[in-house]
Structure 1
Amino acid sequence: MQELVFIKSEDLNSEPFTTDEVIAEFSGNSRDSVTRLIRTHQDRLEIFGRVGFEIRAMPSGQKAKFYHLNQQQATLLITFLDNTAKVVEFKTELVKQFYEMEAELMTRRLERAKGKAIRVSLTDAIKEVGFSGHFYKHFTDLVYKKALGFNTKQLRDARGAKPKATPLDFLTTKEQAAVNQIESLVTGLIQLGYSYDDIKLILNVGVVVYQTTLKTPEKVEQGV
């Protein structure tokens, strides 16, 4: 079965959605009939939030509205479809994919929460040993470069995030785990009294980052 559920961006706070186009194609109904159902039941659907949409250019040059439905809206809408064998199979897969997407986002949120606690430990360590305020950014950049191979600006650009967005909100589970791992290591080295230059040297010789693309670092190994 093809992808039925999407998110607008890689922001872990994004809400998964499906479209009227997907519902029509995989349930064996026309888009006209599905969009008619959405308009007919829009008040009920919007009990679960505003029904989103995007405007897309069609091959004919005309523009058309494509609806975005969150999990609750899509679940309600598909109850209005006749239960043919194809519709039943589609309903099952749609629910499954919504669940899987939510589970992945929850895993990312939990790893992000862990990262917040680790970040507090790092900033506390920087303050306790008497580093100047400039070192908060220096150590942040160092952690990102060693964990992921790129800095915060490059991450925002790659994920389409706004300039002031929190870059950690756009990390995959693997990326967040890599940042957490390196940040914990840096915190420990600061607490042991190492200077910034010493820590940078240790990371350069002791941490190997394997990554095939900017988007997904494949493996991070550490050793000191």
Structure 2
Amino acid sequence: NNDFMISFDISITVEEKQFRFAADLLSDTTAILGKSGAGKSTLVKAVAGLIKPDSGYIKFGNRVFFDSEKGINLAPQKRGIGFVFQNHRLFPFLSVRKNLLFGRLFAKRQNALSFEEVVKVLELTPLLEKSPLRLSGGESQRVALGRALLCAENFIVLDEPLSSLDPVLSESLQGYLERIHSFAKLPFLYITHRPNEALRLTEEALLISEGKNILLGKTRDVLNRSLFLRTE
């Protein structure tokens, strides 16, 4: 289904480091794998519109997000992407309910999922009136996930969302992520350096090393070969 294909061919310079990424991501669950500093976050920030590439293009289906030749560079809020960061980044002065609704209220987003559905599947009802400052790590990550879902029109980017959680919490959040994918029907890009998370949550993987992508294929195949490449 090419409507869901994320394709890019971009060159980026960040702090004098050169990056070059080119791929067509055909699966609706793709892991972005690689060591720390390889360029995983740089790639997804470019896709999300948080960094502007020097040249090239970024497309989602037949929608062009960025094209240097045509002078197109959609603002992040126009790309319809839900973003979950490593450190949750909730707004401390808004209740959980207002955090969840933030993307809708401010970006005037339309998307497929209702507030009620997201709250139910992520089990957020008891937290709605709480301040984010009173949430545990696992609770705040579930809220961050809910907010991204309610912002997303096109797809979701998860940037190492479980790396700050202990193994038990990480395990339970992976369960939520599996459920979300089956009910939300939104493609996601999942950045991680943990092979077991990639295997459980994604079908396809893109391996990044030293600022470029070097391997794209089924997650299991890429992991088998990347151990051989000693990127982990």
Query: Normalising to structure 2: TM-score of the pair?
Result: 0.23
Which has the larger Rg?
1
Query: Which has more strand, going by share of residues?
Result: 2
Query: Which has more helix, going by share of residues?
Result: 1
